[in-house]
């Protein structure tokens, strides 16, 4: 996202211009399609293109879909940096690459956080708020919002300087807000 570029409403692929609807709710519908295990990959691509484009595509469906996904939709994991007591960045561990947010499971927390931080009703913004704007606002949520607090809970690792009561409380909270069903059962 560049502030001196307009939001994406069209793109050129293989010499042809396509109009694209990247409203955040439309992109979330695409994620629902991508997560549907009953569909084959080519069916997912066709449905996603029907949701995003204002025309029916019959040729190079997979190529156009892959281009759209990579260029406009893909969510790259945000790298969270932890700091030690002196303010120095801690080494990044491989397990830190896990996602700490799920757009579907955390929907109510995201909604509440947008209302709290920005006074934005995401239901009123359906069809209006661009995917890039949504991602920027989501990534910029203040630390006092419920979504950021849940992310902090999910990221928490015990430290020897914390009391056993605090550690136990945090472990319980991690179970409550776990994204992985296996974690919830432990």
Domain ranges for the chain, please list them.
10-73, 94-185
Angle between helices 146-155 and 164-176 (to 10 degrees): 110
The string of pLDDT tens digits covering residues 126-171 is 999 999 999 999 999 999 999 999 999 999 999 888 999 999 999 9
Residue 88: pLDDT band (50, 70, 90) is: low
Task: Quote the CA–CA distance of 185 and 123 in Å, as a whole number.
Answer: 33
Buried b / exposed e along 11-35 (16+ C-beta atoms within 10 A)? beeeeeebebebbbbbbbebeebee
């Amino acid at each position: 996202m560049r502030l001196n570029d307009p939001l994406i409403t069209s793109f050129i692929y293989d010499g042809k211009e396509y109009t694209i609807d990247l409203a955040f709710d439309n992109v979330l519908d695409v994620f629902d399609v991508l997560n549907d295990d009953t569909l084959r990959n080519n069916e997912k691509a066709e449905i996603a293109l029907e949701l995003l484009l204002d025309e029916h595509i019959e040729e190079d469906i997979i190529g156009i879909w892959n281009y759209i996904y990579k260029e406009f939709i893909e969510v790259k994991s945000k790298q969270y940096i932890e700091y030690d007591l002196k303010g120095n960045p801690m080494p990044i561990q491989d397990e830190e690459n896990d996602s700490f947010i799920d757009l579907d499971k955390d929907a109510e927390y995201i909604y509440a956080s947008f209302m709290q931080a920005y006074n934005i009703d995401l239901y009123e913004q359906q069809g209006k708020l661009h995917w890039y704007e949504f991602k920027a606002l989501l990534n910029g949520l203040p630390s006092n919002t419920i979504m950021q607090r849940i992310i902090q809970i999910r990221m928490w690792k015990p430290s020897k300087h914390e009391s056993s009561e605090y550690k136990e409380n945090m472990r319980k909270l991690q179970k409550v807000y776990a994204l992985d069903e296996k974690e919830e059962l432990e």
